[in-house]
Amino acid sequence: MSSFSCPLGRYRFEWRVRTPLRLPEYSGSALRGSFGAALRRLGCTARQPECTGCMRIHSCPYATIFETPPPKKTADQSMAAVVPHPYVIEPPPWGRQFFEPGETLVFHLILAGRALEQWPLVVLAWQQALAKGVGSGMGRADLQRIIWEEGAGATTVFTADEGTLHLHAAQVWVPPWPGGDRLTLELLTPIRIQKEGKPLGPGRLHPRDFLVTLMRRVSQMARIHCDHPWPMDPVTLARSAQEITSHGNLSWRDWTRRSSRQGRNMALGGVVGHWTLVGDLRPFWELLYLGEWLHVGKNATFGLGGYRLRRGENG
């Protein structure tokens, strides 16, 4: 039984392209920007230029999802500085893409905790975002179907023909520990974990850095977005993580994005490849499984830090 008592759902969004649509090499940031703008138009009632200082920030659906404030009473100042947002966008696979009218665009969205209470608003925001346009040339697309992916299963929760969102109880059930002393991870999108202000490259990334960063993300997600602290001993887990070793074929993948807020390009590269963790991994099994959904490291909201546990290569 999972100790992560937090609603969590992964959704596959399928779109029919209406006008020529061109996405950048990695489209997570572009999709996030379009989604955020549409969500703000729909969800912000204060109509302030910034969320900071707004009296409605703790009840605003836009801020709750896209500019999550720290809890009202936060003794842990490190948590106040970096608050995880309750969503992850998993864009199409890496590579510059062009979609002709009539073709299908697919990407995934993960929602956690109270963000699922705003499910209809989230879907409407996505519809309006791609109806207005995304990418260079502002290509437009129409939502055709949403599939809720339940681990090994899948359920259709929206079709354009019906136009109705089906109710569902999103929850992740962690499968039993598979046994063995190793787990192989396929790092799909750049994992950027920093130490002393510098990103850890393939030669410096230690399993402890990875596992402690993941532990912090999962525990804060549960505490902030579900009001349900995850029952774990971080000191013991961090000590155990120090004993984990690794081997694999890792490399560095560079990626830059343009920050409209800061008016400059930002380097956001990270580690990708196949990575095998070796040791007593049972205490970390739930963390590693949840990390497939929640991602790990910087800029997880637009899909960085994504990985999959490679089935059949554990043990």
Q: What is the pLDDT of residues 159-193, one digit of tens each?
A: 999 999 998 888 888 899 999 999 999 999 999 99
Q: Among the three residues 159, 190, 213, which one is the final residue of a domain in this structure?
A: 159
Q: Among the three residues 159, 191, 206, which one is the final residue of a domain in this structure?
A: 159
Task: Give the start-end residues of each E strand in 18-103.
Answer: 21-23, 87-90, 97-99
Facing residues of 98 across strands? 22
Q: Is residue 143 part of a domain?
A: yes
Q: What percent of the chain has pLDDT over 70?
A: 92
Structure tokens at 186: 């396929």
Q: Is residue 174 part of a domain?
A: no
Q: Is residue 177 part of a domain?
A: no
Q: How many domains does the chain have?
A: 2
- 137 and 21 assigned to the same domain: yes
- 21 and 99 assigned to the same domain: yes
The rounded radius of gyration (Å) of the Cα atoms in the chain is: 19
> How far, CA to CA in Å, does 76 sit from each of 60, 67, 230, 260?
23, 19, 16, 30
Q: What is the pLDDT of residues 18-62, one digit of tens each?
A: 999 999 999 999 999 999 999 999 999 888 888 888 888 888 999
- 145 and 38 assigned to the same domain: yes
Structure tokens at 210: 């990875």
Query: CATH code at 127?
Result: 3.30.70
- 137 and 23 assigned to the same domain: yes
- 194 and 91 assigned to the same domain: no
- 299 and 194 assigned to the same domain: yes
- 143 and 254 assigned to the same domain: no
Please give the Cα distance from 244 to 226 (Å, whole number). 30
- 194 and 300 assigned to the same domain: yes
Q: What is the pTM of this model?
A: 0.92
Average pLDDT, the chain: 90
Structure tokens at 1: 């039984």
- 136 and 186 assigned to the same domain: no
Query: CATH code at 241?
Result: 3.30.70.1900
Q: Among the three residues 159, 174, 204, which one is the final residue of a domain in this structure?
A: 159
- 12 and 155 assigned to the same domain: yes
- 152 and 186 assigned to the same domain: no
Closest CA to 253 of 242, 264, 241, 268: 268
Q: What is the pLDDT of residues 260-280, one digit of tens each?
A: 655 667 778 999 999 999 999
Q: Is residue 20 part of a domain?
A: yes
Provide the residue range defining the domain that includes 302: 182-309
